[in-house]
Amino acid sequence: MEDYGFFSVAAAIPELKVGDCAFNVQQIEKQIVEANEKGAGMVCFPELCITGYTCADLFFQETLIREAEKAIAGLLKATEKLPTGFIIGAPVEHNAKLYNCALVCQAGKIAGIVPKIYLPNYAEFYEKRWFEAYKLDFPVTETEYAGNRTAFGTNIVFGDSERNFAVEICEDVWAVIPPSSFHAMNRAQLIFNLSASPELIGKQQYVKSLLSQQSARCQAGYVYTAAGFGESTTDLVYAGNAYIYENGRLLAEAQRFQFNNQLIISEIDFDLLTAERKKNTTFVVRPENPDYKKIAFNLKNTQEIALSRAVNPAPFVPTTNYYNESCEEIFSIQVAGLAKRMVHTHVKSLIIGVSGGLDSTLALLVCAKTVDKLGLPRKMICGVTMPGFGTTGRTYQNALNLMQSLGITTKEISIVPACEQHFKDIGHNPEIHDVTYENTQARERTQILMDLANQLNGMVIGTGDMSELALGWATYNGDHMSMYGVNLGIPKTLVRYLVRWVAETQMDALSQKTLRDIVETPVSPELLPVDNQGQMTQFTEEVVGPYELHDFFLYYMLRYGFRPAKIYYLAKHAFCGTYDNSLILKWLEVFFRRFFSNQFKRSCMPDGPKVGSVNLSPRGDWRMPSDASVNLWLQEIKNQVIANVSTLI
């Protein structure tokens, strides 16, 4: 059963009665069964859920402690045939002391007992009155509990050779160095936290921030569940918070202040976490640590994974919550990169080809903002529109309108005569619209820009984006080349959003109108002749495929090193209802073929600023031989095609 690295986890908040272990176990058993039916491989319950967290001095009563152990023995018996593992909280006596513990259980057995390290000592919950604090440096020992001989200690990692988890309890994560930090360094990729944290105004957002940061710092999944309805409200209220995080990202959360049982489920991507840890040189993995005990635990999904977590179809595009801040930051990085290069080179002008398309528009906007910030006149920007055989009236007019509204120096130089002469020189039939026909135009435009830069003591600003570099959709030593490429870290899907953002936030009404039309214009190099009505006949995405798919493929290939089968699996979820599976596979094959065959263009790409976590610069994020074979990747894609066909027969 292929799970593509995903493991299904659940966080449960059961209704309970303080001190009624039989009732509490009954509710817990129901949720374990529910989690198992829904395919969760592990389910975590709140702190001291067997007895209730708010028992106070009842923890001194032998009746409660014995009944808790008896109830747990019954729970183990009732769930021994269920594959889903679970973690419950209970008071456990060990060496004549009482500990606040998490019990890790599966298939009728207790795999290990983890005691709490940091006990709160506040007026509201005085845990040190009832429980002993365990110490990080205490060795892992053994104990007898509920008919099981099992490990007892904090330094325990559960799992197998590939997937591992560990446990901490409530206050532990608030410590200066939480136990989960050590667990992560000892190969735990998933942390469970059993909690019972009372509500205070503003506390929830702090807790979410804390968990997000800890999961990101540990590069781990983090499952947190806290006590809810049924705990005593003598002095405090417990709202029932539950969250599932992955490397800083919130995957699922419970509704607070609910009066019924709650169960939230999501999937932790172990492949993603492993990839992050491999690349992050600051993440420390300790060699075999004698202080830690490894306990075998089955971390296999109980049924075929059906992703409940959202897969973003546009991973490069800022989320809605941070849209303005992210766009401003991206644009500022581009501006700062260009500004430094201008100051260093003492150029007197910026030379840029303006086509009326998205990429050259964004690059021109970056130029305008840069000279503004440097206190220089916009007239030092020389925008050149170079109409050719495929230039349409729409893009031509948009280019002129934009340059005029921005107040830059404008030049118009037709490339038609020069290209026709070149065709004669090399003996090419201009009626043959092949790669020679197209690339002649691209290189002629680049030559004009380079020569103008010499003439005007200027710098040629590149307009090509990262998606074009990934696919090799650029003429070698044509539009592929510049003196500084401000868009080299920007994928095509993001270019459109950035242009729209600049239009909405920084432009006058006239410029806004032009920019909106540019955003709506189909992507095209306009290198093939227009039709009889003067309309474009060449559409990039009909040739190489949809950029939103290619950017998705690019992100997951470069960011995490995912194999084609997993990228395809994710794409099916992200683009469900947009593209059928056969189309996704078709363009996935095109992506890998073009990506491998065009590395030679990326090996000599110009300087340009990195903007996000993915970049193709040979001096930075991506170093690849130009003659590497793509066969392994294509074979895996072929296997997916065969698998898809077989399911239809």
Residues 342-370: pLDDT tens digits? 999 999 999 999 999 999 999 999 999 99
How far is C-alpha 602 from the geometric centre of its chain's CA atoms?
Answer: 24
548 burial level (CB within 10 Å; 0-12, 13-18, 19+)? buried
Of the residues 170, 327, 367, 419, only one is catalytic, namely 170
Of the residues 47, 127, 231, 526, only one is catalytic, namely 47
Of the residues 44, 49, 69, 116, only one is catalytic, namely 116
| Type of residue numbered 355 | S
pLDDT above 70 covers a percentage of the chain that reads: 98
Instruction: Quote the pLDDT of residue 367.
Output: 98
5 burial level (CB within 10 Å; 0-12, 13-18, 19+)? buried
Instruction: Quote the pLDDT of residue 195.
Output: 95
Instruction: Quote the pLDDT of residue 649.
Output: 42
Average pLDDT for 368-394: 96
Average pLDDT for 260-288: 91
How far is C-alpha 4 from the geometric centre of its chain's CA atoms?
Answer: 16
- Is the per-residue pLDDT at 648 higher than 50? no
Q: What is the pLDDT of residues 514-545, one digit of tens each?
A: 999 999 888 877 767 877 777 767 788 888 99
CA distances from 152 to 34, 92, 103 (A): 28, 10, 9
Q: What is the pLDDT of residues 538-576, one digit of tens each?
A: 788 888 999 999 999 999 999 999 999 999 999 999 999
Alpha helices (runs of H) in 381-456, residue ranges in sequence order: 393-406, 416-426, 435-455
Side-chain half-sphere exposure of 369, counting CA atoms within 13 A: 23
Model pTM? 0.91
Average pLDDT for 142-163: 95
The rounded distance, in Å, linking the Cα atoms of 28 and 34 is 10
Q: What is the pLDDT of residues 600-626, one digit of tens each?
A: 999 999 999 999 989 999 998 899 999
Average pLDDT for 260-286: 92
* Summary mean pLDDT of the chain: 93
The rounded distance, in Å, linking the Cα atoms of 415 and 631 is 40
- Is the per-residue pLDDT at 228 higher than 70? yes
Query: Of the spans 228-237, 256-265, 402-411, 503-512, which averages the highest pLDDT?
Result: 402-411
The rounded distance, in Å, linking the Cα atoms of 35 and 85 is 10
- Is the per-residue pLDDT at 465 higher than 80? yes
Find the angle CA(117)-CA(120)-CA(122) to the nearest 5 degrees: 165
- Is the per-residue pLDDT at 320 higher than 90? no
Instruction: Quote the pLDDT of residue 124.
Output: 58
Concerning whether 135 is annotated as a catalytic residue, the answer is: no
Concerning whether 170 is annotated as a catalytic residue, the answer is: yes
Concerning whether 116 is annotated as a catalytic residue, the answer is: yes
The rounded distance, in Å, linking the Cα atoms of 295 and 166 is 10
- Is the per-residue pLDDT at 125 higher than 70? no
Buried b (16+ CB within 10 A) or exposed e, 228-259: bbbbeeeebebbbbbbbbbbbeebbbbebeee
